[in-house]
Structure 1
Amino acid sequence: MDILFQASHRGDVEELQELLAKNPLILYQVPFMSAQNPLHFASAAGHLEFAKKILELKPEFARQLNEDGYSPIHLASANGHADIVREVIKVDSNICRLEGGDGRTPLHLAVLGGKVDVISEMLAACEGCLEDLTMQKETALHLAVRHYQLASLRVLLDWSKQIRKEEILNMKDEHGNTILHLAVWKKQRQAKVNAVNKSGLTALDLLLIFPSEAGDREIQDILQSAGATKAQNLNSTTCYSSANLDPPSNSCRSKDLIDFFRFHEGRDSPSDVRTTLLVIAVLVAAATYQVGISPPGDVWQEDDQGLVAGTSILATRNVVSYILLVSCNSIGFNVSLSMIYTLTKKFPLQTELQVCIFALYMTFNTAVAATSPESTRAFTIAFTSVLPTVVPLSFLLLRKFRVIERIISIFRIQRGN
């Protein structure tokens, strides 16, 4: 048996053939004599031809663990022998996910050793091994960051994006750390920990401005240990003291909040803006529709002394207030319908959507006209009928007027210069 292991150490295929000729059962006797097999030695030393011969004769050796709990592919991966890894994978691609004695897979060992060729070989054969965890619930990405293996990290990130498994970046180890937590802790991203967003805020600013119920102190300590500071300290302007880490003052906090939530053309995508506008328009339509079908003060319940059941009580007691209410409410309702139509103009099922909007418009106008007394009904019907045409035209004119105003202001500035 020692002669067989010595031959595997040297990668001597001819000697292996001689040993097999003398004892055809020698490979079958190995499991009874040792936890290691010749493939372990050949894989560790990088003897490709010897490894291929052993795999041809005894493919089950590929899964055998030695005394340390490692298989041949573990040893080949740790030593960067991509060609042997490729041959072992041919036996079974899932062998890449074989756990060693400490829970580490061959991919984990390749990452720790910075063996990028082996990493690519295994991920190409078995994408799932990217999600395998150690006993500490660490992914290969965690190990790359923790042990400063930047080359391995780049390959893993490229593969994560290529196979569309970016969610693995948010996986946490047993301590609840993502790879970002580890990167900050290791100070590998210290140069960017004070980067400001489009609102001029650093990560520490956001943490102090938007406190949560738990974990803030720990995150703050991590950021500060990596050299994090506030945006105002970076710019040498003091809205609050740079000598301490107290939360910003109320005036500074309010200013940051307003600027953070304000619309930013470069930051907010058209899709987000359209969604927000559509939500606002629907809310306005719902609110104004409710007022239209159920006017404030309710309606008369029965005919009595010239009063007609179903008409607005407010209209009979204060005509001016009622007309003002109906006018403003109808404007809000029609503007919101116009916004909904504009924002959904190229949506699918356009015909059905327009039918819904028209039905909503007719229901609203019918309800408003029905609750209006005789004295205001003509005005109500005329006003609500004209609005659908007037609203788009009025906004078109307003936009043109604003453009003209800007042109005039630019002209005046140029003349002043």
Structure 2
Amino acid sequence: MFDAMVKEFSSAVMDRLFQTAQTGDIEELHQFLARDPLILHQIPLICAQNPLHFASAAGHLDFAKKILELKPEFDRQVNAEGYSPMHLASGCGHIQIAREMIRIDSNICRLAGKEGATPLHLAVLGGRVDLISEMLSNCEGCIEDVTVQKETALHLAVKSFQLESLRVFLDWTGQMDREEILNRKDEHGNTVLHLAVWKKQRQAVDLLLENNSRTLEVNAVNKSGLTALDLLLIFPSEAGDREIQEILQGAGALKAQDLNLHDTTFTSSTHDPLVNDHSKDLVDYFRFHSGRDSPSDVRSALLVIAVLVATATYQVGISPPVSCNSIGFNVSAYMIAKLTSKFPLQTELQICLLALYITFNVAVTATSPKGARVFSNVFASVLPTAVPVCCGLLRRYKVFKHIKGMFRKFRQECCSGVL
């Protein structure tokens, strides 16, 4: 009973003290301290917030300075919402209070709060340009800090459409020779340029490429295998896409598949072209590769395949198959299965092809005369199914025969003294 009364009394006192902080009444603060000189020392034992939280959020500079004088460590206490007094002063734009905290501890700018956000991050989200400059001047390392999503302050500036904040960062990185920060990637592998293009921010793209074209990785690839130009072309809109595309291409931007084709061309030129032309596994070469082929190409290919499957299914219903028709159908199905072996929605595609194959062979049996069903099944189902397998073996035999011929020619030239 006594403990409950003490707890209730302490809670009531804290509530009145926090109300005093919200109003910024320093005289009343002195009265609290006169009645209980240890009241500020008891606060961390009772609750997760302190009067400096309220004064910082409300912008009461004199009250905040008095609290910092008495309990400077209050500036690092994080409340239940995950914010310190410095976070609240930064988010609300109270630069004078933030300066007082920076004066006491410059590293306060790097204090991680909710979801890893620092006071600098909140200043960016609020567009507090003067406060951003203040933090960068007193704590250079704060530019390195990232959120739990691995987003830098520059990422947040672009995501929240804070163009002036972005301009401050670009000027600062140029002056301090810290342009490498522009190429940092978030958890999805997106750079600042990726986000600027995704958000259709032409001015941000222009700013990023205007003075940083040499240091900015314009063709950086994210975890989806996309460059900034890919994002623009895959998700088109009417929000200045053409202007953004011209800016990007003027800086040398390419699609991911063009980058891979360039690498493939360079690699091929360093090897014997005769060997490359004949010994390359063509099925693997033309198979889908996530780094080379863009999602838009995959989508188009999937639509074409779906139409082909639907057409073939329809044709089975109206045209009783014969042997040559069955060979064409089975080879086509085999090609689709091979060329889509690494496509997205792989399970669905395989089920679709299997269902189509079964439907075709059931149709062969159903449309054949009763006396010739065995003959029809053999020549329209069994033998055509073996044709694709034979094609694969034949292709391997030709490659082997070609390599064997090259070795024979090489041996003959050695024996004749040519080499």
TM-score, normalization by structure 2: 0.49
Say which structure is richer in helix. 2
Structure of larger gyration radius: 1
